[in-house]
Chain A
Amino acid sequence: MDLLIASLPLLGGGVWITLQLAVLAAIVATVLGLTIAFAQLFGGLVLRIVAEAYLYIARGVPLLVLLFAMYYALPYAGIMVEPMSGGVLVIGFYFAAFMADVFRGAMLAVAQGQWEAGRAIGLRTPTILVDIVLPQALRVAGPPYVNTLIMLVKGTSLVSVIGLSDVTFVGRQIIERTLAPFEIFGAVAAVYFVICFALSRCGAYLERRASFVH
């Protein structure tokens, strides 16, 4: 117990890094994911091919490999990236692929008839999209979106491997000095659990809300 209290300031610093990383990466992933989904749905051939290739890579290559590649390859090319921005970008890009699947699936889940009905009353495509399709799609997207956010929060733990002092990294450092893995990693796990469990409750709430639609 004393150990945990003594470790609190260090762990707190790690939690702060983890939170920053998670929020920033979530923003990158959401914006980029929406962009990819739109490129897939409405883009020309070239855009669609680029989007597919992107998804194929993110689905097939582990996040850790992408982080290592960023960490080793960019400095080699003379590009100096701060670990924090690098981590945000790689995690954001990686989960953008899963976000894209969520958004695309949600858009496709809105019945084709909604588009036709919009056209029948003379609305133009952007209006149909914004006023009719997107509001319905967002309801469908809610729960899987939250699931992807949970994966993203858990994924941020990998930055500990490229030297960013997030809560996992701090935990490992404390272990090397104190040899109390259960207490420290229990505390680290609890941090993630609080964040992810809160998110999953939000997801469950959205699921109940969304199910009223049909």
Chain B
Amino acid sequence: MSSEIALIGRIAPVLAEGLYMTLELSVLAIVLSALWAIPVVLTLISPRRPLALVARAYIEVVRNTPVLVQMYFIFFGSSILGYRLTGFVAGLIALTLQNGAYIAEIYRAGIQSVSQRQTESGLAIGLTPREAFWVIVFPQALRKVVPSLANQGVVIIKDTSLVATLSVAELTFEARLLVDRTAAVYEIFLTLALLYMVITGVFSGLMRLVERRLRIVQ
């Protein structure tokens, strides 16, 4: 019993640090992806054809290549260029680029699902097309896509584990370190899996609350 308590005493502080790093990276990656996706979707649906094609090409490239390879590309590439990024920053950029592309598609689906008449009514009461989009269409689109955004958020949280390969001391990295040090393989991996389930579970729960608050009653 006392050895188990000693074990918990050894692993808890290390995992707690890793957990903090994972949470920090998750929050940043989710917020930045959701923000980065806005200019992407605006370019994607822009009436200027060449611009829209650029956005389309970007989305196809990042969606059809693994985020891990993108992380390596950015991490090792940045050091060759002489602007050596930390693993955390390289991971954050890769996660944002990848998930921003997915979220841009989610936004696009949301924007297209808002009835054309909403824009027309806006124009009829004297809004400019730009105002009609920002005041009427985009907020409704956002409310409609909360469930898809929540799913993407879970993907992001799980994918933060990949920065462990760039030696960022987040949850998965610390757990692996502890396994090497303590040989308590089952206990540590079980704890690790449970921690991720709790994080994604809490996040999904919060997003369901948001969804309920923002649901548009038809």
Contacts and interface: CB of A to CB of B under 8 A. Distances in A.
A62 interface: yes
A171 B64 contact: no
Contacts of A57: 193, 197
B67 interface: yes
A69 B68 contact: no
B80 to A, nearest CB: 6
A185 B179 contact: no
Interface string B69-96: 1101100110110000000000000000
A193 B73 contact: no
Nearest to A60: B197
Interface stretch (B110-118, B159-167, B207-215): B159-167
Contacts of B158: 60-63
B65 interface: yes
A168 B73 contact: no
Contacts of B176: 68, 72
A66 B164 CA distance: 14
Interface string A109-147: 000000000000000000000000000000000000000
A158 interface: yes
Contacts, number: 116
Q: Which of B60, B73, B201 has the most CB of A within 10 A?
A: B73
Contacts of B192: 65, 69
Interface in B143-192: 154, 158-162, 164-165, 172, 175-176, 179, 183, 185-186, 189, 192
B189 A175 contact: no
A61 B179 CA distance: 18
Nearest to B161: A62
A189 B189 contact: no
Interface in A180-199: 180-182, 185-186, 188-189, 192-193, 196-197
A172 interface: yes
A197 B197 contact: no
Contact of A189 (B70, B76, B159): B70
A157 B68 contact: yes
B66 interface: yes
Given A171-B72, A189-B73, A73 B189 contact: yes
A200 B193 contact: no
B172 A64 contact: yes
B140 interface: no
A104 B62 CA distance: 28
B7 interface: no
Contacts of A72: 176, 179, 185, 189
A200 B69 CA distance: 19
Contacts of B154: 59-60
B198 to A, nearest CB: 8
B200 interface: yes
A175 B77 CA distance: 10
A81 interface: no
Contact of B64 (A73, A160, A193): A193
Q: Which of A57, A65, A69, A171 has the most CB of B within 10 A?
A: A65
Given A65-B196, A72-B189, A197 B60 contact: yes
B61 interface: yes
26 contacts: A57-B193, A60-B200, A61-B193, A61-B197, A62-B160, A65-B161, A65-B175, A65-B196, A66-B193, A68-B189, A69-B189, A72-B176, A73-B189, A76-B183, A76-B185, A154-B65, A161-B165, A175-B72, A181-B76, A181-B79, A188-B69, A189-B73, A192-B64, A192-B69, A193-B65, A197-B64
Given A157-B68, A193-B64, 5 more contacts: A68-B189, A150-B63, A171-B72, A181-B73, A196-B65
List the 7 closest pairs (A to B, CB-CB), nearest first. Answer: A181-B76, A196-B64, A60-B197, A157-B66, A62-B158, A62-B161, A154-B66
